[in-house]
Amino acid sequence: MTEASTLAELIQRIEIDASIESVWAEITKLGSVQRPLLNTVLQTTFEPGSPIRYTSPDGKRTFVIGRIVEVSEPTLFSHTYVMTMHDDPPTLVTWHLEELAPGRVQVTLTHEGWADDSTNMAKHGKTWTGILADLKRQVETGDVPTRTKISQAVMSAFMFAMPAKTKTQNVQPPQ
């Protein structure tokens, strides 16, 4: 990684009308599809240092790899982050949940460690905005918006066109 003075971060927040446990359950759900998180399946043990993967529902594609940094249920989930289709160095994603009142949670997502010259940081900022909006909708109503379902269906239909380096058998374990 580059010197700390050259690293950038994204910070986004959203308030969700639900219990902190409900929000935590959605962002840490294992073994089944996380619709708000781009229709991926989370694989990890949540032990610090253990690998983390976000895969396609069928497991044939791996989109994000990393290692667990810290977990403190139900308020903190932090892991390194490498998007398999890009050549950016690892960054750090931290989910911080704060109960503002019973049934009201603020989610702060910090994605840090971006090199100043990264072309992917702005794209990720837009993606995280959508993920947080979909997370809010999923937890509050039990479903994601129709636009998200359509987008995910299109992505699924064109999975064959994804770069070969996203094929799970081509993805190396995270450092």
Predicted confidence (pLDDT) per residue in 66-101, tens digit? 999 999 999 999 999 999 998 888 999 999 999 999
User: Counting Cβ atoms within 10 Å, is residue 89 exposed (0-12), middle (13-18) or buried (19+)?
Assistant: middle
How far is 67 from 115, CA to CA, in rounded Å?
19
Query: Would 51 be classed as within a structural domain?
Result: yes
> pLDDT by residue (tens digit) across 146-160?
999 999 999 999 999
pTM recorded for the entire structure: 0.92
* Banded pLDDT at 2 (limits 50, 70, 90): very low
> pLDDT by residue (tens digit) across 3-61?
444 578 999 999 999 999 999 999 999 999 999 999 999 999 999 999 999 999 999 99
Query: Would 150 be classed as within a structural domain?
Result: yes
Among 45, 47, 13, 20, which residue's Cα sits nearest to residue 31? 45
**Tokens at 85, concatenated:** 């289709």
**Tokens at 50, concatenated:** 């253990």
Query: Would 20 be classed as within a structural domain?
Result: yes
Query: Would 175 be classed as within a structural domain?
Result: no
Q: What is the CATH number for 135?
A: 3.30.530.20
Give the CA distances from residue 133 to residues 45, 60, 93, 95, in Å, rounded to whole numbers and listed in that order.
26, 27, 17, 14
Query: Would 18 be classed as within a structural domain?
Result: yes
Q: How many domains does the chain have?
A: 1
What domain range includes position 147?
4-170
* Banded pLDDT at 122 (limits 50, 70, 90): confident
- Sequential DSSP letters for 11-36: EEEEEESS-HHHHHHHHT-BSSEEGG
Query: Would 148 be classed as within a structural domain?
Result: yes
